[in-house]
Amino acid sequence: AQKITQTQPGMFVQEKEAVTLDCTYDTSDQSYGLFWYKQPSSGEMIFLIYQGSYDEQNATEGRYSLNFQKARKSANLVISASQLGDSAMYFCAMREGTGKSTFGDGTTLTVKP
């Protein structure tokens, strides 16, 4: 069975600094996708970044980058130059070829001014 582990229930970062949110996964599939979502207090789930299991380069989207280490089964999210609006819950998710996604329990990020 697929499993996503996010070991940091809460993280704090100073505005303008970088922060890494950890994610490890477990799967027996060879083909899968890894996703990060942001969920502000308003509740909507916002897609941030995607990494395919066969992608050789780490994914980047603006201030977000995904540190993909396949052998270690980790897919950490790096947010550079944190902003106050980055304060939210962040979820790591894995999607298998059938389309079904498994989510972690999330990390609450608080950006301090």
Partner 1 sequence: GAGVSQSPRYKVAKRGQDVALRCDPISGHVSLFWYQQALGQGPEFLTYFQNEAQLDKSGLPSDRFFAERPEGSVSTLKIQRTQQEDSAVYLCASSLGGGLREQFFGPGTRLTVL
Binding residues (CB under 8 A) for partner 1: these are 4, 31-33, 35, 37, 43-47, 50, 52, 91, 93, 95, 97-106
CB closer to partner 1 out of 20 and 101: 101
We find the least distance from the C-beta atom of residue 5 to partner 1, in angstroms, to be 11
We find the least distance from the C-beta atom of residue 89 to partner 1, in angstroms, to be 9
We find the least distance from the C-beta atom of residue 26 to partner 1, in angstroms, to be 15
DSSP state of 20: E
16 conformational bin, left if phi > 0, alpha if psi -120 to 50, beta if neither: left
CB closer to partner 1 out of 79 and 93: 93
CB closer to partner 1 out of 74 and 102: 102
86 conformational bin, left if phi > 0, alpha if psi -120 to 50, beta if neither: alpha
CB closer to partner 1 out of 28 and 113: 28
DSSP state of 86: G
We find the least distance from the C-beta atom of residue 53 to partner 1, in angstroms, to be 8
Q: How far is CA 40 from CA 51, 85, 89, 101, in A?
A: 22, 9, 6, 20
